[in-house]
Amino acid sequence: MNALDRKLLRDFRRLWSQFLAISLVLAAGVAVLLMSFGMSGALENTRATYYERNRFADIFVDVNRAPNTMLEIIRDIDGIAAIAPRVTTYATLDIPAKIDATVAHVVSFPENGPVLNQPTLRLGNWPDATATDAVVLNAPFGEANDLWPGDTFTATLNGTKRTLTVTGWALSPEFIYAIGPGSLIPNDADFGIFWMPEQALAAALDRTGAFNNLAVKLRPGFAVDPVIEELDLLLEPYGGLGAIDRTEQVSNAFIDAEITQLETLAYTLPPIFLGITIFLVNMVMGRIVALERAEIGLLKALGYSDGAILMHYLLLAGLVGVVGVGLGYAAGSWLSFELAQLYAQFLKFPYLIYSVSWNIYVIAGLLGLIAAGTGAARAAWVAARLAPATAMSPPAPPRFTTSWVDRALHAARISQPTMMILRSVIRWPVRAGLSVLGMALAVGILVSSNFFPDALDVIIDTAFYQSNRQHAVLFFNDEVDERAVAEASRLPGVLQAEGQQVMTAVLQYAHRHKRTTIEARRPGMNLSRVVSTAGEVVDAPPGGIMLSERLAAQLNAAVGDVIEVRFLGVHQGTYMLPVTQLVTQYFGLGAYMDQATANRLFQQDPRVSVVNVTLDAAHATAFQQSLKDLPRLAGRAMLAENRAGFEDTISRNILITTTIYAVLGTLITVGVAYNGARIQLSERARELASLRILGFTRGEVGFVLVGEIMLLALLAQPLGWWIGWGVARMLTESYTSDLYAMPLVVSAATFSSASLIVLSAALVSVLIVRRRLDRIDLVSVMKTRE
């Protein structure tokens, strides 16, 4: 090994703590890149493979009741490769030793097995095609309820109670993310899927020779929209509810959202870390070159070329890059694996194809090395271009001039150590500014990551406490008359019952259209209310339709515009209705109309789709028991449980993410503050030692070092808050979807906790460096040349 390389390695070892601080920042960027691309890639690959192997459909449509004779006509639609007609319904289950009524989505299983959306058997056997009481459960539900092959339970199907026997467990690509009616997150114990022989289920639902659900597979290269249009046309007379493609299929849409979030993470966080790495490397390498001027001059005097010196300093930064990338690989691989475990809780894949592509590692590594090299480029270039004679003479002392600032400081009778701090900041504004920016970015990351709990608090309060004040929602398979409300009010424990009608429709304005549900509402409804983001309770004005602002924006419609409303399912007909009001909401793309208006349109007696009830907690068990006996009930949602489950899941996830972001923010702060302090110390060792010789105490001298860094840290706070607020705003816009809008709520506690973390990290870092100040050998410092 040649002498210059030996020098390189020893210099790297000597400055290990500074370089480690930088490497950790770089490692964080590499780790996040690996984790997010790795996980999004794993989800994409797993989903794609699963869909392909199990023939996941491209189009899904629910219909009230269509005869099997329609299937021949449907098969002839240009572009269709395969179709899978099915009979589906919801059922209320009575599981032994379980008090709460459980809901299941029931899907027919044809004699030769489904052509599309093929479930994978995990345990046991498929039931015989002629069996009338045998079912296969989706595996998570079976496991959560301890229902094994051979066990029995009771289900109410189409008003009739039946005892069913479990023959096996399966998983399906259609229900990777299985969420029950009225729920916000999956709950394997309370919502399940089961497959039942087609013959038996069709008979139970009076659908023999007919279907109420259709899955469609397209031939490669065919567009979805024309096929959907033809399907809707054909099925409309039979109560078609509008065909949807994969993007609107609940399970697939959720995975899409997860992948998008991971990719967003990959594109937003790593550039910040890489940018800070460049800044830190630039700061430290610049200082090293300044301190090693004489050595650089020596090397040039000895005949080393500019190129050799350039490479020497680039390689030094390269070592930082290698360490950072190595640590990032390790952390990223571990984080990816942990994240995969987390996803496994919610996503029911039969397998997870987790292999982070080697090119992600290569790209992450290259980006890390490029960041380190870019940071060192200027300093290395300066070193290479230093004229030998200039390099061997000491640099000119920094030039200070008197300005109005100095006169003002003098008039304020600022102490000399404080003057030293302020002059240093003013003399090197770019360096001070970059340090402030670095710490401000740390604050910004903490604010923008920690605002989620604040936003979720608002959403939960609006959704669960202000809008939905009922304790439970009872769902029916079909619309029922208002007697259901009276029946519900007579159930044990029910204090109040309110009916509500929900219809499916396609809204169209000009060339824009949107499929959504319309709630028919009575004025003064008390349990389920429409509450705006401003906290106002809003009733749908009569004679038209009230839209949520996001839905209106998608349609590009305003108050007064007349839109086309084409009802699907049970209610046929197309009507032109004026937009009577807009309401701003967090959840869903709401559309509402006055109940009396709906009754007039459909020329019907009042109907209900759901009944909202409030309960006396003392009779909760009796209430649950009574649900198992309701013949027309398709399911129920216990909002208190939903809320608790939602809060529990979210709070766990929030704890993980806020911890991760706190660590990342601390790493950045330590990187900036520690290196800044070390550089300060190396530049000012002589003057600080002079102060000690003149009689200043350790504390007074330490104040000069600590004071400058903490001043910059304080200046970083308002900038960091502003950055954090801006990033939070961008995040709310990126997270807004059809399902919910994220409010921009950043509490004072979020700002202050972010500042506390950054200021503490900065203080600890600079105090560690301050200890070196205490150990300076005053005499030897005085003896060496400037």
- Contact residues for another protein (CB under 8 A)? 2-4, 6-7, 10-11, 14, 294-295, 297-306, 308, 387-389, 392, 785
- Per DSSP, the three-state class of 642 is helix
DSSP result, 151-188: -EEEEEETTEEEEEEEEEEEE-GGGSS---TT-SS--T
3 vs 748 by CB, closer to another protein: 3
Q: What are phi and psi of 635, to 5 degrees?
A: 175, 175
Q: How far is the CB of 21 from another protein (least distance, A)?
A: 21
Burial of residue 584 (CB within 10 Å: 0-12, 13-18, 19+) is middle
Q: How far is the CB of 662 from another protein (least distance, A)?
A: 37
298 vs 764 by CB, closer to another protein: 298
The amino acid at residue 173 is: P
Q: How far is the CB of 386 from another protein (least distance, A)?
A: 11
12 vs 126 by CB, closer to another protein: 12
Q: How far is the CB of 9 from another protein (least distance, A)?
A: 9
Name 745's Cβ contacts closer than 8 Å, sequence gap at least 6: 451, 454, 455, 457, 458
Q: How far is the CB of 406 from another protein (least distance, A)?
A: 22
Is there a contact between 766 and 709 (Cβ–Cβ < 8 Å)?
A: yes
Encoded tokens for 544: 């038209």
12 vs 148 by CB, closer to another protein: 12
388 vs 606 by CB, closer to another protein: 388
Encoded tokens for 55: 């023939």
298 vs 363 by CB, closer to another protein: 298
Q: How far is the CB of 786 from another protein (least distance, A)?
A: 12
296 vs 591 by CB, closer to another protein: 296
Number of Cβ within a 10 Å radius of residue 406: 16
Give the closest residue to 573 by CA, choosing from 482, 514, 504: 504
186 vs 297 by CB, closer to another protein: 297
617 vs 778 by CB, closer to another protein: 778
Strands 102-109 and 152-157: unpaired
413 vs 783 by CB, closer to another protein: 783
Q: How far is the CB of 35 from another protein (least distance, A)?
A: 38
**Which residues, in sequence order, are bridge partners of residue 515?**
506
7 vs 161 by CB, closer to another protein: 7
Q: How far is the CB of 311 from another protein (least distance, A)?
A: 13
Q: Taking the CA atoms of 651, 655, 660 and 662 in sequence, report the sign of the dihedral they define.
A: positive
Residue 23 and residue 26: Cα distance in Å, rounded? Answer: 5
4 vs 123 by CB, closer to another protein: 4
Q: How far is the CB of 297 from another protein (least distance, A)?
A: 8
- Per DSSP, the three-state class of 147 is coil
Q: How far is the CB of 656 from another protein (least distance, A)?
A: 43
Report which secondary-structure segment, H or E, holds 474.
Answer: strand 472-481
Report which secondary-structure segment, H or E, holds 267.
Answer: helix 250-291
Is there a contact between 450 and 661 (Cβ–Cβ < 8 Å)?
A: yes
Report which secondary-structure segment, H or E, holds 120.
Answer: strand 120-124
Q: How far is the CB of 300 from another protein (least distance, A)?
A: 7
Strands 494-509 and 607-615: antiparallel
299 vs 437 by CB, closer to another protein: 299
248 vs 295 by CB, closer to another protein: 295
As a whole number of Å, the end-to-end CA separation of the chain is 32
Q: How far is the CB of 707 from another protein (least distance, A)?
A: 31
Residue 201 and residue 195: Cα distance in Å, rounded? Answer: 9
302 vs 430 by CB, closer to another protein: 302
Q: How far is the CB of 302 from another protein (least distance, A)?
A: 5
Q: How far is the CB of 261 from another protein (least distance, A)?
A: 48
Q: How far is the CB of 6 from another protein (least distance, A)?
A: 6
How many residues in total does the chain contain? 786
Give the closest residue to 138 by CA, choosing from 93, 72, 83: 93
Q: How far is the CB of 389 from another protein (least distance, A)?
A: 4
Q: Where are the alpha helices (DSSP H) in 347-427?
A: 358-385, 388-392, 404-411, 416-427
DSSP result, 281-325: HHHHHHHHHHHTHHHHHHHHHHT--HHHHHHHHHHHHHHHHHHHH
Which strands, in side-by-side order, build the sheet including 59-67? 80-86, 210-218, 59-67, 244-245
164 vs 299 by CB, closer to another protein: 299
Residue 134 and residue 163: Cα distance in Å, rounded? Answer: 9
Is there a contact between 621 and 456 (Cβ–Cβ < 8 Å)?
A: no
**Which residues, in sequence order, are bridge partners of residue 582?**
547
Residue 256 and residue 183: Cα distance in Å, rounded? Answer: 19
Is there a contact between 689 and 776 (Cβ–Cβ < 8 Å)?
A: yes
Q: What are phi and psi of 694, to 5 degrees?
A: -75, -10
Encoded tokens for 338: 């942990």
Q: How far is the CB of 289 from another protein (least distance, A)?
A: 15
290 vs 714 by CB, closer to another protein: 290
Cα 205 to its chain centre, rounded Å, is 40
Name 567's Cβ contacts closer than 8 Å, sequence gap at least 6: 503, 504, 505, 518, 573, 574, 575
User: What distance separates the 2 farthest-apart alpha carbons in the chain?
Assistant: 103
Residue 535 and residue 527: Cα distance in Å, rounded? Answer: 15
3 vs 694 by CB, closer to another protein: 3
Residue 589 and residue 678: Cα distance in Å, rounded? Answer: 55
Q: How far is the CB of 686 from another protein (least distance, A)?
A: 16
